[in-house]
Amino acid sequence: MKFSKLRQLLLVSAIGLLVATLLTACAINTIDYVFVANSAGSGTGSTGQIQTYDSDSGTGALRSGAPTVSSGGNNPVSMVVTADFSNLYVVNEASNNVVHFALSGAGILTQKDVVTTSATPVSVAVNSAETYLYVLSGPDPTVLTAYSLSSGTIGSVAAQVTLTVPGYKSDTIVPTGVNVLANNNAVYVSTYDQSAYNPGGATTSNANPGWVFGYGVGSGGALAPAAGSPYKAGIKPSALTSDPTNRFVYVTDFASNELIGYTIQSGNVLDFLINGPFKTGVEPISIVIDPRGKYMYVANQLDSSVSGYVIDLTTGTPSLAINSTGSQTNSTDTTPVAVIVDPAIGRFVYTANHLGNSISGFVLNADTGALTPSVSTPYPTGDSPAALAAVPHGNHAIQVTSP
């Protein structure tokens, strides 16, 4: 009997040691901190929140991380982090503000300063030099504002432009996304003309519906229109991105279920890729390119999927990546509205699922760009997640490889 009890004691001790070892291993294996912005509730007075998750280096699985914080306003819709991963900015659409958070090495967010916009903000971008924050707001009017940055703090307005379509200056231009080139030399904005495209409502204009505006960045942050800007962009551009070598811009067309590609010419002028546009899922709404510049992922809202593409590094042409099941479709939880690639090793893809109240995770095959679901996906979030951002854990190098 005594021997049996001794064995039981040894067994319990061994199990405890194993659990402690696993827990320690989990802490060591955190590769990224993933942030999701969502509504804290359904009431009109409820503020938004930002939840933090730890991403496992081996599987990409997410688990709750640092404490949840208020987004500093209502209805957060867009987030961005600085190149040094020490600052995060969130757009609160219903509060007309942009809130700055400092980021600790442990992924803890601390609210700093706030800037209030005159129109409804919808998207935000920051240049890699961390000198300007670009905020897109509208409509009536749609405005691109460049704020100066100093050690992450939002400063005064360095430049501001109002977006109108030549020949149709009274049309209502709806803003959807903003992107700044990695070399800091240009900023691009996706919009659509609601006066020309208004499903369920009247139209008053025969203008082309979809547009991308391009601006060169000059001294002091001055914004100068690129020659030929704005450029036609299908029917309803919903998001845009550029590759890390500053050669290509890609725009999702929500209404046509297409991806439109451009080459960046001298003077930041855009020219269509000759073999586009390219097929997406239904209602593409968010787009991202991996840190290596080799793969691109599009979140498709209506059919709850992610489309993966391999980018031809010579021509910029994207071709659909085939996953291990022989399919081009990668299913998410309900209604993905944002997609990111982890910045630490570029191995994991995540979507924020607006109606699923979750994050879907995928493992990225670095050789093919194909996706496979991560362990235990999807991961629960608060209500109506709308934006994602991620930073590397301090113990890991950042995955950046020039194509």
Long-range contacts of 281-285 (CB under 8 A, 24+ apart): 281/257, 281/305, 281/306, 281/307, 281/329, 282/257, 283/238, 283/254, 283/257, 284/238, 284/239, 284/252, 284/253, 284/254, 284/257, 284/258, 284/259, 285/238, 285/239, 285/252, 285/254, 285/336, 285/337
The reported pLDDT for the residue numbered 394 is 66
Q: Please, what is the end-to-end C-alpha distance for the chain in angstroms?
A: 68
**SS3 assignment, position 312:** coil
The mean pLDDT of 11-27, rounded to a whole number, is 41
The reported pLDDT for the residue numbered 324 is 75
- Which residue from 130, 144, 137 is spatially nearest to 182, judged by alpha carbons? 130
The reported pLDDT for the residue numbered 5 is 43
Residue 85 has pLDDT above 90, yes or no: yes
Q: In terms of pTM, does the model score above 0.75?
A: yes
Six-digit token string for 226: 């690129």
In terms of pLDDT, which residue wins out, 272 or 118?
272
The reported pLDDT for the residue numbered 23 is 38
Residue 194 has pLDDT above 50, yes or no: yes
Q: What is the pLDDT of residues 356-371, one digit of tens each?
A: 999 999 999 999 999 9
pLDDT band, residue 240 (cuts 50/70/90): very high
Q: How far apart are CA 273 and CA 317, in angstroms?
A: 7
Using only C-alpha atoms, the chain has a radius of gyration, in whole angstroms, of 22
DSSP 8-class letter at 168: B
- Which residue from 24, 49, 16, 19 is spatially nearest to 35, judged by alpha carbons? 49
The reported pLDDT for the residue numbered 43 is 59
Q: What is the pLDDT of residues 135-193, one digit of tens each?
A: 999 998 999 999 999 999 999 999 999 999 999 999 999 999 999 999 999 999 999 99
The mean pLDDT of 209-231, rounded to a whole number, is 98
Residue 14 has pLDDT above 80, yes or no: no
Residue 2 has pLDDT above 90, yes or no: no
Residue 306 has pLDDT above 90, yes or no: yes
